[in-house]
């Protein structure tokens, strides 16, 4: 016998291809166990019956489309729809869930879809039959639970954005078996009141409001009788039921659907908000214009004041006075004759002469000092101090040689000079 040898990966991928192509978009009934939510927003659980179990996963994006998963707990019976997926790394398989509903909810969903198709065929959802929503309503009626969060959200937006709109609240049951009857009664009462009320008291818009919830919680707004009442309502209606992902029959019948009660309040007050912003803008522009005009008027008043006029006259007079002074030749002698230039040139010449004389005196003084030094060097007295002396006769003056001394007669009086004085002697 020849057997084909396969490795683990080949076998697993053949099984994966076989299972994933055969079990697509299947529906399974079972009991939830080991339900857990990961930090990344994925849900994991086991779906079991008395004989078997299978792992299941509802990933984040699909979980957002199935908000009922938050209300499901271990032990609940559910219907899941999805595809079977094989995880090769562990050789296991699981159901990748696309939709999950508690047992019994599927019947409600089917009822909802059947009623929706039937009412649509009867024209209740036709867009050309819907009434326009007044942009600036004066009175709005809201049908909702008195202590519900929907009413508080609506009122918070209404107080912050509305200018003149009156709000009429009709406390109503919005969940349970008696809710459809209560909602229809409130709708009839407000229509009856508006039809008989004076013009300034008539209702301009009716809002149906409720917070989010499961399909069962919102079932009161899927009532067929309520749908026909809304269709025949002479007053424009807005549905603000649940969250953005929640839909009811009332949403399709009403003249406008708002995702939430807060969104409905924003839609109703939108044009009022625009008017408020426009008024604020006009106010700022008006204030700016007034300030500019007031500034101009103040300037005109300031210039028209007697003191200001007097100052202008004095300035003109001063200007003419300066022009007259410029015409006075006596006062402009220096300017016209340029004598100040001559004064300046004279001062410069005097300074140059002083500098030249100073240089010449310095040169002469230097020459004098040099000559004086030379005279001092040739001064006989300086030689006498070194032990020398000289003889002077009345006849020849200084006797400079022995020959001159011999020529002198005997008894000639001579003067001999020493460094510290002179003495008289006679030639022998």
Of 153-167, 256-270, 324-338, 389-403, where does mean pLDDT reach its minimum?
A: 324-338
Higher per-residue confidence, 228 vs 428: 228
* Concatenated DSSP letters of 141-189: EEEE-TTSHHHHHHHHHHHHH-SS-EEEEEE---SSTTHHHHHHHHHHH
Cβ proximity of 131 and 236 under 8 Å: yes
CA distance 230 to 254: 6
Topology of the domain comprising 122-268: Rossmann fold (3.40.50)
Q: Residue 329: what pLDDT? A: 61
CATH no., domain 8-104 = 2.40.50.140
| pLDDT, average across residues 312-317 | 83
Mean pLDDT of 336-362: 82
In the prediction, which pLDDT does 126 show?
Answer: 92
Q: Residue 254 above 60 pLDDT?
A: yes
| Residues in Cβ contact with 135 at an 8 Å cutoff, skipping those fewer than 6 apart | 270, 271
Residue appearing with tokens 């699981």: 94
The whole-angstrom separation of Cα 202 and Cα 166 is 11
pLDDT grade for 227, boundaries at 50, 70 and 90? very high
Distance CA 81, CA 35 (A): 17
- Report the SS3 class of residue 412: coil
Radius of gyration for the alpha carbons in the chain, expressed in angstroms and rounded = 63
Q: Which of 79-83, 132-136, 232-236, 398-402 has the lowest mean pLDDT?
A: 398-402
Q: Looking at residue 247, what DSSP letter applies?
A: -
Query: Does residue 1 have a pLDDT over 60?
Result: no
Whole-angstrom distance, CA of residue 24 vs CA of residue 83: 5
Determine the pLDDT at residue 48: 85
Alpha-carbon 300 to chain mean position: 42
Q: What is the pLDDT of residue 331?
A: 62
**DSSP for 329-393, written as a single string:** TTTTHHHHH-HHHHHHHHHHHHHHHHHHHHHHHHHHHHHHHHHHHHHHHH-HHHHHTTT--EEEE
Reply yes or no on whether the pLDDT at 144 is more than 70.
Answer: yes
pLDDT at 334: 62
**294 compared with 408, residue with greater pLDDT:** 294
By the 8 A CB rule, do 361 and 354 touch? Answer: no
Strand partners, 171: 144
Q: What is the pLDDT of residue 151?
A: 92
Of the two residues 252 and 3, the one the predictor is more confident about is 252
Choose among 26, 43, 18, 20: nearest CA to 82: 26
pLDDT at residue 143 above 90?
A: yes
Whole-angstrom distance, CA of residue 12 vs CA of residue 14: 5
When the pLDDT of each residue in the chain is averaged and rounded to a whole number, the result is 85
| Boundaries of every domain in the chain | 8-104, 122-268, 382-426
The model's pLDDT over 257-268, given as tens digits with 9 standing for 90+, comes to 998 999 999 999
Name the phi and psi angles at 30, rounded to 5: -170, -175
pLDDT tens sequence across 176-187:
889 999 999 999
The SS3 call for residue 90 is: coil
For residue 23, pLDDT beyond 60:
yes
pLDDT greater than 60 at residue 104: no
With a pLDDT cut of 90, the percent of the chain lying above it is 34
The pLDDT of residue 251 is 92
| pLDDT above 60 for 123 | yes
From the list 383, 381, 386, 393, the residue with the least C-alpha distance to 421 is 381
Task: Please say whether the dihedral angle defined by the alpha carbons of residues 177, 178, 183 and 187, taken in this order, is positive or negative.
Answer: positive
d(CA 89, CA 16): 11
Distance between CA atoms of residues 57 and 322, nearest Å: 102
Cβ atoms of 37 and 43 closer than 8 Å: yes
- Cα separation, 261 vs 239, in Å, equals 8
Nearest CA to 9 out of 84, 85, 87, 88 is that of: 88
Q: Is 273 exposed, middle or buried (0-12, 13-18, 19+ CB in 10 A)?
A: middle
CB 282 within 8 A of CB 288: no
Higher-pLDDT residue of 327 and 21 is 21
* 8-104 and 122-268: identical CATH topology: no
């Amino acid at each position: 016998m020849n057997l084909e040898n396969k490795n683990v990966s080949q076998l697993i991928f053949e099984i994966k291809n076989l299972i994933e192509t055969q079990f697509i978009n299947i529906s399974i009934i079972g009991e939830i166990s080991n339900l857990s939510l990961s930090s990344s927003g994925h849900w994991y659980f086991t779906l079991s019956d008395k004989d078997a179990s299978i792992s299941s996963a509802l990933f984040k994006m699909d979980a957002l489309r199935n908000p009922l998963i938050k209300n499901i707990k271990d032990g609940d019976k559910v219907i899941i729809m999805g595809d079977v997926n094989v995880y090769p790394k562990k050789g296991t398989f699981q159901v990748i869930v696309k939709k999950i509903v508690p047992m019994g909810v599927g019947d409600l969903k089917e009822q909802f879809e059947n009623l929706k198709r039937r009412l649509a065929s009867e024209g209740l959802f036709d867009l050309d039959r819907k009434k326009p929503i007044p942009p600036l309503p004066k009175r709005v009626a809201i049908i909702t639970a008195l202590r519900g969060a929907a009413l508080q959200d609506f009122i918070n937006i209404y107080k912050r954005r509305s200018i003149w709109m009156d709000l009429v609240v009709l406390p109503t049951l919005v969940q349970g078996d008696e809710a459809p009857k209560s909602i229809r009664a409130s709708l009839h009462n407000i229509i009856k009141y508006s039809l008989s009320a004076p013009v300034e008291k008539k209702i301009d818009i009716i809002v149906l409001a409720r917070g989010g919830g499961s399909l069962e919680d919102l079932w009161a707004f899927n009532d067929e009788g309520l749908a026909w009442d809304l269709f025949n309502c002479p007053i424009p209606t807005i549905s603000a039921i649940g969250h953005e992902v929640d839909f009811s029959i009332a949403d399709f019948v009403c003249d406008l659907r708002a995702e939430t009660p807060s969104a409905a309040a924003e839609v109703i007050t939108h044009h009022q908000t625009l008017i408020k912003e426009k008024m604020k803008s006009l106010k700022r522009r008006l204030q700016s214009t007034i300030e500019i005009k007031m500034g101009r008027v103040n300037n005109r008043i300031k210039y028209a004041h007697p003191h200001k006029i007097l100052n202008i006259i004095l300035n003109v007079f001063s200007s003419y006075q300066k022009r007259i002074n410029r015409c006075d030749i006596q006062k402009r002698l220096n300017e016209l004759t340029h004598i100040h230039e001559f004064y300046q040139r004279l001062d410069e010449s005097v300074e140059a002469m002083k500098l030249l004389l100073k240089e010449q005196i310095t040169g002469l003084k230097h020459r004098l000092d040099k000559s004086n030094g030379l005279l001092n060097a040739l001064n006989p007295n300086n030689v006498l101090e070194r032990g020398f002396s000289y003889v002077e006769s009345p006849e020849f003056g200084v006797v400079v040689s022995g020959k001159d001394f011999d020529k002198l007669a005997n008894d000639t009086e001579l003067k001999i000079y020493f460094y510290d004085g002179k003495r008289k002697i006679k030639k022998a």
